[in-house]
Structure 1
């Protein structure tokens, strides 16, 4: 879809956005196009045999929403390009209100890989998704409707080969989270240890394969520049269905990370003897809050600090966001140091208020009919440091990639917890089904790309990108330069030349189509863009180059590449 902004023109004063007649017509186009794409293009019966009746039906249901939605966004973009930005924004806002709920509805009906697509929107990957889409898709981070407990019990007992009660002294029937391939329950082992149990849905691997095929086919027609990345993502996602492997990956990354970041993060330990291909048992991180829930609570805290209700603050923020978007600029939240000052001020006020409350309660409050004063919990009033949260996640995952060569390829916010450890929160990092390993050569290549981008030496940037397996039809230097900056650095107005990310990629594809992506870098780029997307949501916009530069230097020094450091001038800084 297209994000509304000043990068376009007038909205025709005809009822082009959300008109019932046009919607009905476009939906009929979607059905007809879906049949043509999935059926006529390859021979309906033959294709049905290839993907199976279930996936064939799922593809048609997906296309019924995806095709008319895509067409209406595309038509609105063309009709409103080059004119009044406010009219253009209004036109797109109408589309968002129509299509975001429709998209969520079909995602929840189909589940499978479509949930992963919705999670990308919720994470605002590449800063490409409007606020309405981000908020609508937020439920997909870890709160997808779950399966009945009877289904869960059957899976657990089949995997363990014994009754559930033989292994667990208690097992909470209510899941604490559900997502694309399974759901998670609290339980207590026979020895009294509290654990969480991740259960994989039996049909999910079969559905994922068909869903990815459907998405790839759609992209080949509408957005071919995404196909090479989807091919590699498909390979990586297919590794997610073996929870025995995930248990090993979880413990490996846990060991790597806790030595360096143990004061800031917590990673659960897998109970390897209880893990099977469809069952993962691990330590429970508690007391903990889901990051999404913590951020929602944080909004209330910031509203209180400003002397407003949450609704009043959200209304003001929405207006300011819309103005900034129309003007083509980014809004920035407070820095880490500024937030530290706010936090120190709140802590000092809470301390003084509690001191007065305790003195009151143990003096005047002892008299009959005198009401005691409440003692406040600082954690309920002190806001999170959003800037440090984004910086920590970038540093941690950059270390996994550049230093360890073993990293989580799916760090969306649903995989992050806030673990309450005394007066400070630590980041709880979970879900290691999509772990990617890269060799020393790739780590050095990435470090050189980052240093080249930092130096802003265009010839050197192009040289380093061409040393990978990135290939376009004509291998134009300007294409390689633009891709390098977008993939490995940032997605602001300067990099995107004032365009929406998809429009920017469309133009590159038309001029010099991408034919091959280096498979070793696809998941690295995905991690970088996903973490930057979280930064955009929190108004903490980041450059991957700036965040990972110290790690890149470290790698090049360790691997004897000091000459390259001197070439870029970094060694002398």
Structure 2
């Protein structure tokens, strides 16, 4: 078994993982984006033609979106999480959403030597003792962890090995503190909204994501619920290998499919008309599967997957949907479930009137 050299790991990590540099980068870029909007607001006072206002605001949002995208992309880690949160129509300008939605899983990968150290420390064995094959090149890398394809010894099935980036928890806490200070400033100067409480909730939820044992339990709970309550589960949920789960390593069933954001490109490659009957049927099946799964999780179980961004949705053969990453889950009390059910009933009734 290899000796654990944490100094070597630190040296292998990029400069982007050093706290003071990240703090400086964040404040320099956030200040630039903020002052850009303030200067723009001053300019708007001199534009008398109100018909031009909307067009000018759109251009400003486009400019800011590029800067926010660059900041999140360059800093990675926690800021990819922020991009996922802001990349929703109800939280940010449309220009921001269009830009940030593409940042789902673009975190820099941890070097394999460092991955090996984490794996072997967590599992207590060498990679060669546990896995028949192990692909050193990751399938993908996100803000907290990266995933590798492998095969466990004595098992013919392919698995996904999720490995936490070394040191990422401490660095994310630095990022969150910076964001909380910025949120407090924005509350006092520009935004009449409790941004700070929102950042505290983000801190709480992200804290959960560092415990892969918790994630494995959540994944298995949702999997059992969906598989037990349907002839066929509306979405596929990976099966966990419980003997290969620690706080920083999670081994699960490999799910074959195409990321939902790449579905259009895949259709184009296959010569499928995106507006044809086949494509429309596929879109309907995908939407129906996700709606059915979330309807059951929220209204019937009360325990649901709370991070359905595009990077966590794979589309397989026959428009089968696989739902990945159970680091963020929520449990609703009965009165909220009943409230949502009543709201759905009212909406359904009112739309028919």
**TM-score normalised by the chain length of structure 2:** 0.81
Question: Unpaired segments of 5 or more residues in structure 1?
Answer: 1-52, 307-338, 347-381, 456-544, 550-568
The answer to whether the Cα contact below 8 Å between 2:147 and 2:162 also exists between their aligned partners in 1 is yes
Instruction: State the secondary structure of the residue aligned to 1:266.
Output: coil
Distance (whole Å) between structure 2 residues aligned to residue 76 and residue 398 of structure 1: 43
Structure 2 vs 1, CA of residues 151 and 225 (structure 1 numbering), >3 Å: closer, same or farther?
same
Tell me which residue corresponds to 1:530.
none
Distance (whole Å) between structure 2 residues aligned to residue 179 and residue 134 of structure 1: 19
Instruction: State the secondary structure of the residue aligned to 2:137.
Output: coil
Larger Rg: 1
Which of 311, 332, 336 matches 1:445? 336
Distance (whole Å) between structure 2 residues aligned to residue 90 and residue 289 of structure 1: 36
Tell me which residue corresponds to 2:110.
147
Tell me which residue corresponds to 1:248.
217
2:152 matches 1:194: no
In the TM superposition, 1:216-365 aligns within 5 A as: 216-222=180-186, 223=191, 224-261=193-230, 262-286=232-256, 288-298=257-267, 300=268, 305=273, 342-343=276-277, 346=278
Tell me which residue corresponds to 1:203.
167
Structure 2 vs 1, CA of residues 383 and 171 (structure 1 numbering), >3 Å: closer, same or farther?
farther
> Deviation per CA, 1:246-305, whole angstroms, max 9, x where unpaired?
11111111011123453531111010101111100000012x11111114435x489974
Distance (whole Å) between structure 1 residues aligned to residue 59 and residue 241 of structure 2: 49
Structure 2 vs 1, CA of residues 280 and 452 (structure 1 numbering), >3 Å: closer, same or farther?
closer
The answer to whether the Cα contact below 8 Å between 1:258 and 1:265 also exists between their aligned partners in 2 is no
Which of 104, 126, 129 matches 1:166? 129
2:329 matches 1:432: no
Distance (whole Å) between structure 2 residues aligned to residue 141 and residue 195 of structure 1: 22
The answer to whether the Cα contact below 8 Å between 2:76 and 2:143 also exists between their aligned partners in 1 is yes
The answer to whether the Cα contact below 8 Å between 2:73 and 2:106 also exists between their aligned partners in 1 is no
Distance (whole Å) between structure 2 residues aligned to residue 395 and residue 73 of structure 1: 41
CA RMSD of superposed structures (Å): 3.2
**What is the deviation of 1:60?**
2.9
Tell me which residue corresponds to 1:495.
none
In the TM superposition, 1:516-555 aligns within 5 A as: none
Tell me which residue corresponds to 2:71.
106
Distance (whole Å) between structure 1 residues aligned to residue 54 and residue 271 of structure 2: 27
**What is the deviation of 1:230?**
2.3
4+ runs deviating over 6 angstroms: 301-304
The answer to whether the Cα contact below 8 Å between 1:301 and 1:383 also exists between their aligned partners in 2 is no
Distance (whole Å) between structure 2 residues aligned to residue 129 and residue 177 of structure 1: 28
**What is the deviation of 1:451?**
2.9
Structure 2 vs 1, CA of residues 94 and 294 (structure 1 numbering), >3 Å: closer, same or farther?
same
Which structure is higher in RCO with an 8 Å CA cutoff and minimum separation 6? 1
Structure 2 vs 1, CA of residues 260 and 94 (structure 1 numbering), >3 Å: closer, same or farther?
same
Structure 2 vs 1, CA of residues 446 and 201 (structure 1 numbering), >3 Å: closer, same or farther?
same
Distance (whole Å) between structure 1 residues aligned to residue 228 and residue 160 of structure 2: 24
The answer to whether the Cα contact below 8 Å between 1:62 and 1:106 also exists between their aligned partners in 2 is yes
The answer to whether the Cα contact below 8 Å between 1:239 and 1:434 also exists between their aligned partners in 2 is yes
Distance (whole Å) between structure 1 residues aligned to residue 319 and residue 284 of structure 2: 15
Distance (whole Å) between structure 2 residues aligned to residue 218 and residue 127 of structure 1: 17
Which of 418, 434, 438 matches 2:315? 418
Distance (whole Å) between structure 2 residues aligned to residue 73 and residue 302 of structure 1: 44
Distance (whole Å) between structure 2 residues aligned to residue 125 and residue 134 of structure 1: 6
Tell me which residue corresponds to 1:389.
286
Structure 2 vs 1, CA of residues 91 and 235 (structure 1 numbering), >3 Å: closer, same or farther?
same
Distance (whole Å) between structure 2 residues aligned to residue 190 and residue 130 of structure 1: 48
Structure 2 vs 1, CA of residues 449 and 277 (structure 1 numbering), >3 Å: closer, same or farther?
closer
The answer to whether the Cα contact below 8 Å between 1:401 and 1:443 also exists between their aligned partners in 2 is no
> Deviation per CA, 1:85-126, whole angstroms, max 9, x where unpaired?
66335434543454333323322332221110112244x241
Instruction: State the secondary structure of the residue aligned to 1:272.
Output: strand
Aligned length: 328
**What is the deviation of 1:218?**
1.0
The answer to whether the Cα contact below 8 Å between 2:216 and 2:250 also exists between their aligned partners in 1 is yes
Structure 2 vs 1, CA of residues 228 and 152 (structure 1 numbering), >3 Å: closer, same or farther?
same
**TM-score normalised by the chain length of structure 1:** 0.52
The answer to whether the Cα contact below 8 Å between 1:266 and 1:419 also exists between their aligned partners in 2 is no
Distance (whole Å) between structure 2 residues aligned to residue 454 and residue 66 of structure 1: 43
